[in-house]
Structure 1
C-alpha cells in the first residue's frame, strides 16, 4: 500500500520534467491500495474503490489548481481512452502545449481483480497514445 502523495507544485514540476513515454509509461504512482489476492477479491476491491475515488478527486483538484481544467474528450481524436488506457476507471488529461503534443494524465486504475487500485500519473505524447490505442 502507498498512502496518497499530495500533488504539490514541486512534485508536479518533477513529474513534468521527466521524459514522456517511459516504458512502462508510468511517471508516478500517487496512491496504491493493498492487493486483493486473499479472500473475496471483488468484494474487497469494491469496498476500497470509494476511498480511491475520493483520492482521485483530491489529486484532480490539486492538479487543476496548478495546470487549470483538463481537456474535454479524448486527447487524440479517434483514439478513445479505453483503447489506450483500458484499466482507467477515471481519467483526466491536460495538453501541455509543446511541439511533441505531450499530455499529462491522471488515472484511477484497476487492472485485474487481484491487483491494487492505483492513482497513476502518466506523461505521454500523442504518438505514444496512438500506439497504445492501436496495438494488436
Structure 2
C-alpha cells in the first residue's frame, strides 16, 4: 500500500545485566554470536535502539545495554535514538517512558524531515 515503508523494521534491544556485568542466562548465546566479526557486513543496513535494565547500586550498572549499543554501532548499524538506561533503584518505568517517547519521536515525528536521521 502507498505510504508504507519498504525498509526493514528496526531492531529494539531491551537487555538486563546479571552479576558482574554479564548477560543474563537467556542472552548468553546472543552475546557470544554478536561478538563474532563475521556480522560486520550484515549490520550495515540495520537500524537499532537499545534500552538497558539495571540498578545503579551495582558496579556494572547497565553494562549489557551499554555493550549492545556500542557493539551495534561498531558493526556499522545505524542508531535510531540514544541508549536508554533504566535504573530499578530509582524510577525504571519513568526511565523507560522517556526512552520510549524519544524512540517514538524518531520513528514517527510530526515533521517527517526528522524521521530516522541521526539522533
With the length of structure 1 as denominator, give the TM-score of the two structures: 0.28
Q: Point out the structure with the larger helix share.
A: 2
Q: Which has the higher contact order (CA 8 A, sep 6+)?
A: 1
